[in-house]
């Protein structure tokens, strides 16, 4: 399962969510505004930055603020799509 750390106000999050939904990729969305532990995890992953979205893949890798092209390529590489 893919996990995406997100927030309602985040344009990049909305774009990535739209792509994942259009590709029918199952994803667990975690709102960093509602979950302090999730916000701390994002900061830890990003070396002190609160950049979102952070997308965690089943192989343990992650992407921060990926373009749609990069995100789709990652999903293809992992044979998720």
pLDDT category at 81 given cuts 50, 70, 90 is very high
Which pTM does this prediction carry? 0.95
Domain count, the chain: 1
Residue 63 φ/ψ, nearest 5 degrees: -135, 140
SS3 content of the chain, % helix, strand, coil (to 5): 40, 20, 40
Q: How many beta carbons lie within 10 A of that of residue 61, not counting itself?
A: 11
Neighbours of 27 (CB within 10 A): 17
Distances (CA, A) of 57 to 9, 80: 23, 10
Q: What is the CATH number of the domain that holds 67?
A: 3.40.30.10
Structural domain boundaries enclosing 26: 2-77
Q: What is the pLDDT of residues 16-48, one digit of tens each?
A: 999 999 999 999 999 999 999 999 999 999 999
């Amino acid at each position: 399962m893919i996990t995406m750390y997100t927030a309602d106000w985040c344009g990049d999050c909305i774009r990535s969510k739209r792509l994942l939904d259009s590709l029918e990729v199952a994803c667990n969305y975690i709102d960093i505004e509602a979950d302090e532990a999730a916000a701390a995890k994002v900061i830890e992953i990003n070396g002190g930055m609160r950049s979102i979205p952070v997308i965690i893949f089943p192989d343990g890798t992650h992407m921060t603020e990926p373009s749609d092209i990069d995100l789709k390529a990652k999903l293809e590489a992992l044979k998720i799509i």
